[in-house]
Amino acid sequence: MTVSREFLAGLPKAELHVHHVGSASPRIVAELAARHPNSPVPADPAALAEYFRFSDFAHFIDIYLSVVELVRTPEDVRLLTYEVAREMSEQQNLRYAELTVTPYTSVVRGIQAEAFCEAIEDARVAAEKEFGLVLRWIFDISGEAGIPAADETLRIATRIRPEGLIGFGLGGPEIGVPRPQFQPHFEAAVAAGLHSLPHAGETTGPQTIWDALRVLKAERIGHGTSTMQDPALVDYLGEHRIPLEVSPTSNIATRAVDSYDVHPLRAMVDAGLVVTINSDDPPMFGTDLTNEYAVAARLLDLDEAGVGELAKTAVRESFAEDSVKTALLSEIDAYVGVNAL
Where along the chain do its domains lie? 5-339
Q: Is the pLDDT of residue 35 over 90?
A: no
Predicted local confidence at residue 81, as pLDDT: 97
Beta carbons within 10 angstroms of residue 308's beta carbon: 23
The pLDDT tens digits for 41-57 are 877 777 877 777 777 77
Confidence of residue 90 (pLDDT cuts 50, 70, 90): very high
The pLDDT tens digits for 98-118 are 999 999 999 999 999 999 999
Residue type at 302 in one-letter notation: L
Predicted local confidence at residue 206, as pLDDT: 98
Confidence of residue 340 (pLDDT cuts 50, 70, 90): low
Respond yes or no: is residue 202 known to be catalytic.
Answer: yes
Which of the following is catalytic: 152, 202, 292, 317? 202
- Edge-first strand order for the sheet with 13-19 is 13-19, 94-101, 134-142, 165-171, 195-196
Domain covering 5-339, topology: TIM Barrel (3.20.20)
The pLDDT tens digits for 142-166 are 999 999 999 999 999 999 999 999 9
